[in-house]
Amino acid sequence: MKATAKANTNIALIKYWGKRDEKLFLPMNGSISITLDRFYTITAVEFKRDLQKDVFLLNNQLSSEAEGQKVFRFLDIIRELSGTDLNAVITSENRVPTAAGFASSASGFAALSAAAAKALNLELSEKELSALARRGSGSACRSIYGGYVEWQKGERADGKDSVAHQLLPEDRWNISILSVMVASKQKKISSREGMKRTVETSPFYTGWLQTIDTDLQKAREAIISKDFEKLGRVVEANALKMHATMLGATPPFFYWQSGTMEVMEQVQNLREDGIPVYFTIDAGANVKVLCLPEDEQKVYEALLTLPSVKEVITCHPGAGITYL
């Protein structure tokens, strides 16, 4: 009863920010992402009869208590679905710069859902797998699919319609996503805590909800018509809007560091020089820069000249779940 799955991480173009149900991970708003080709998690799950408790090995090391608990509680959901009480050995190899604004939880829970469901012979559709992955980490529901993906918030209280679907496969539109690392510090406020505080206390959150459907519509249209500048404009504006909601929270908080600002300014400089290039930022200090493949080298070099930039990794749209 063993299976292994690989999931790529994804970055949000239109952000998920806020839950309407903390337990089921139901979002306040829909979101759109790109699955990336270079950051991934490979997870093997083996259910065994003679095992006293679950064991989680992350990058060849026994996990911490906190990391383990998140994974074991998530496995409980899958055990309940399949009616088993067997414990499991979970072995994960994580190729994502963790806890610095890159969603390692997205690829992590997507790979874990796929491997565990397969190991237990649960024949889940992609939709059902997406709904399951969502319960580990919201953004994980998007990593089931490759390319350009939308997570619809859904209306039902049980969350069955809060699932992702593909808007455009990865091989249909190649754009470049440069992951710019400016900080290696662990972030201080998790996305979970950050979005909760924003929803509960920020007066700007209403503005976020009022404009999100327009942003989603623009991004959807831009992806379908492969209009890069239209996409870039709405992506950058949406990211800034999400970060603005946190400044109004009590107590206020932000994820940016000085390097974050440097990258944002450099992207604007490049744009003034006529290169279509845009940025987005998640719950961390690092920046993701979007451009067309023909401008990739120029943009890469311009970012590396900045003193606070440590590393730039160029990604492209990647595949959904694969089984190994």
DSSP H/E element including 87? strand 87-95
Interaction with ligand PMV in 45-84: which residues (CB under 6 A)? none
Interaction with ligand PMV in 10-29: which residues (CB under 6 A)? 12, 15-16
* 43 in contact with ligand PMV (CB under 6 A): no
Closer residue to ligand PMV in complex, CB, 198/266: 198
CB 150 within 8 A of CB 32: yes
d(CA 32, CA 30): 7
Beta-bridged to residue 90, according to DSSP, are: 45, 56
* 249 in contact with ligand PMV (CB under 6 A): no
One-letter amino acid for residue 278 of the chain: Y
Residue whose Cβ sits closest to ligand PMV: 12
3-state secondary structure of 12: strand
- Which member of 103, 117, 144, 234 binds ligand PMV (CB under 6 A)? 103
* 205 in contact with ligand PMV (CB under 6 A): no
Options 132-140, 212-220, 258-266, 309-317: segment touching ligand PMV (CB under 6 A) = 132-140
CB 139 within 8 A of CB 113: no
- Which member of 75, 90, 270, 283 binds ligand PMV (CB under 6 A)? 283
* 179 in contact with ligand PMV (CB under 6 A): no
Q: In this structure, is the dihedral angle defined by the CA atoms of residues 262, 264, 266 and 272, taken in order, positive or negative? A: negative
CA dihedral of residues 249, 9, 91, 193 (deg, nearest 10): 0
Among all chains, which residue has been given the structure tokens 């009616």? 83
**Backbone torsions φ then ψ of 275, nearest 5 degrees:** -95, 125
Options 38-46, 60-68, 103-111, 316-324: segment touching ligand PMV (CB under 6 A) = 103-111
Options 125-133, 136-144, 208-216, 296-304: segment touching ligand PMV (CB under 6 A) = 136-144
CA dihedral of residues 271, 273, 274, 276 (deg, nearest 10): -30
CB 237 within 8 A of CB 264: no
Closer residue to ligand PMV in complex, CB, 3/283: 283
Options 73-81, 90-98, 101-109, 152-160: segment touching ligand PMV (CB under 6 A) = 101-109
* 172 in contact with ligand PMV (CB under 6 A): no
Among all chains, which residue has been given the structure tokens 């900045």? 306
Q: What angle separates helix 65-82 from helix 126-134, to the nearest 10 degrees?
A: 140
- Which member of 2, 70, 165, 192 binds ligand PMV (CB under 6 A)? 192
Cα within 13 Å of Cα(1), Cβ side: 18
One-letter amino acid for residue 267 of the chain: V
Closer residue to ligand PMV in complex, CB, 63/191: 191
CA dihedral of residues 142, 185, 73, 323 (deg, nearest 10): 40
Options 8-16, 44-52, 69-77, 289-297: segment touching ligand PMV (CB under 6 A) = 8-16
The least CB distance from residue 194 to ligand PMV, in Å, is: 8
* 290 in contact with ligand PMV (CB under 6 A): no
- Which member of 282, 288, 302, 315 binds ligand PMV (CB under 6 A)? 282
101's tokens: 């604004």
- Which member of 97, 138, 232, 320 binds ligand PMV (CB under 6 A)? 138
The least CB distance from residue 14 to ligand PMV, in Å, is: 8
Contacts with ligand PMV, residue ranges (CB under 6 A): 12, 15-16, 31, 103, 105-106, 137-139, 191-192, 282-283
